[in-house]
Structure 1
């Protein structure tokens, strides 16, 4: 039985949901949206594995409070893992009806997979953080990360298709050059005057470095056989978790 909003629930004027997958540039994108001051304050309010004792209803209340800008727009980010967990407790459409969806993807799927495989080991999920340990190259880890990303992109595509939703589609590689245009398109869908992101408040250094490039060369040398077609499923046990963390890079 799903949990309904409490009597004190203040329905958002508008809801903006960023649908994405890890290592897609969503942190940078959400910071740009926040810098407009009118497109909500999106972040991972439904990241349940870090704070498992916080209920889904409490997360909805948090998202509605912390994710709200003064004009009443509430924004948050959802990964498939978030949605999968929250739907066990609530109906998203009951708490946040008629949302505007933005589907953020990355064109360079291999680059995204390498970034994910690396972050899963060294724990560096945003620029400026110190690694917890060295990340070691593993073809298996990149294969599993790539399969995970492709599967989750497909889940979002299926969700939008079966619900008749036409999201605003944005690619990570285009954000830097087109972020003003993207924010204006989002504003149009929300019925707002053209919002403009800040040019000085968002400073995030690209995390890709020589190690990522080395891993790409190694992976393509090992797995880049154009006569080999990939399997349709992720290796058995690849996506199982130990405690509330992804552990699929471990064999």
Structure 2
């Protein structure tokens, strides 16, 4: 079985896919091994998602950037070990926003040069506004999964959701273009969440285990999406 690279944008449903793949025990361990930025050594910070937004009502809801400590080296072999299940299958998840630093780390090499034969899986979400609402909520609360304790009460922002809708769409387009000619499997969140079984069986070759995650969206997400649509119109 080839290794798996899950290509995604934030809040696209990739976490559900990857947790189910991990739970099979035979499809690698597709975590985000490349999420720390070279110039800070820190994973995504709230303000990085809103880069280019100058609206003080948005920026006032976000903590300042932590400069961190620049990365001096990157251990691909450690990634290979962490991402490989006992049957020898490697898997990783990559967000489009993390690819610029990843390409620099790779240099003249390709992902296949480092990890061997790979199968690519692109996760997309049709409803970009719902995706952006989910991301804007998580950015503020830092509750990325069900069970995480929120650090703040989220505040609606048309400007933030508009920016994130466009940013996520650009990221999806970026993956689509990069994957052209690589024959990726495309997983549509809205379909996959309704019935993940067939996708897991295709990718892992085994029956899908029970979902380890609870759905996070609720009435607030729906209300914000409806409000955004009304204001955008």
> Aligned runs of 1:145-184 on 2, under 5 Å?
145-161=164-180, 164-184=181-201
**Could you tell me which of 62, 66, 72 is aligned with 2:88?**
72
Give the corresponding residue for 1:123.
142
Give the corresponding residue for 2:22.
34
Gaps of 5+ in 1: 1-12, 188-193, 225-251
Give the corresponding residue for 1:245.
none
CA RMSD in angstroms comes to: 1.8
Give the corresponding residue for 1:6.
none
Q: For residue 220 of structure 1, report the CA deviation from its aligned partner.
A: 1.4
- Is the 8 Å Cα contact of residues 56 and 86 (structure 1) preserved in structure 2? no
Q: C-alpha separation between the residues in 2 aligned to 1:207 and 1:75?
A: 25
Q: C-alpha separation between the residues in 2 aligned to 1:221 and 1:87?
A: 40
Q: Report whether the alignment pairs 1:82 with 2:98.
A: yes
Give the corresponding residue for 1:236.
none
Give the secondary-structure state (helix, strand or coil) at the position aligned to 1:130.
Answer: coil
Report 1 or 2 for greater relative contact order, CA contacts < 8 Å, sequence distance ≥ 6. 2
Q: C-alpha separation between the residues in 2 aligned to 1:103 and 1:181?
A: 16
Q: For residue 118 of structure 1, report the CA deviation from its aligned partner.
A: 1.5
Q: Which has the larger radius of gyration?
A: 1
Q: For residue 151 of structure 1, report the CA deviation from its aligned partner.
A: 0.3
Compute the TM-score of the two structures, normalised by the length of structure 2: 0.80
Give the corresponding residue for 2:227.
218
- Is the 8 Å Cα contact of residues 110 and 146 (structure 1) preserved in structure 2? yes
Give the corresponding residue for 1:17.
5
Give the corresponding residue for 2:32.
44
Gaps of 5+ in 2: 44-68
> Aligned runs of 1:192-211 on 2, under 5 Å?
194-199=205-210, 202-211=211-220
Question: Alpha-carbon deviations, 1:125-164, whole Å to 9, x = none?
Answer: 1111111111111100000000001101110111112xx1
Give the secondary-structure state (helix, strand or coil) at the position aligned to 2:121.
Answer: strand
Question: Alpha-carbon deviations, 1:37-76, whole Å to 9, x = none?
Answer: 1111111111114366666631x22321111111110000
Decide whether aligned partners of structure 1 residues 56 and 93 sit closer, same or farther in structure 2, where only a CA change above 3 A counts: farther
- Is the 8 Å Cα contact of residues 34 and 40 (structure 1) preserved in structure 2? yes
Q: C-alpha separation between the residues in 1 aligned to 2:14 and 2:84?
A: 18
- Is the 8 Å Cα contact of residues 37 and 69 (structure 1) preserved in structure 2? yes
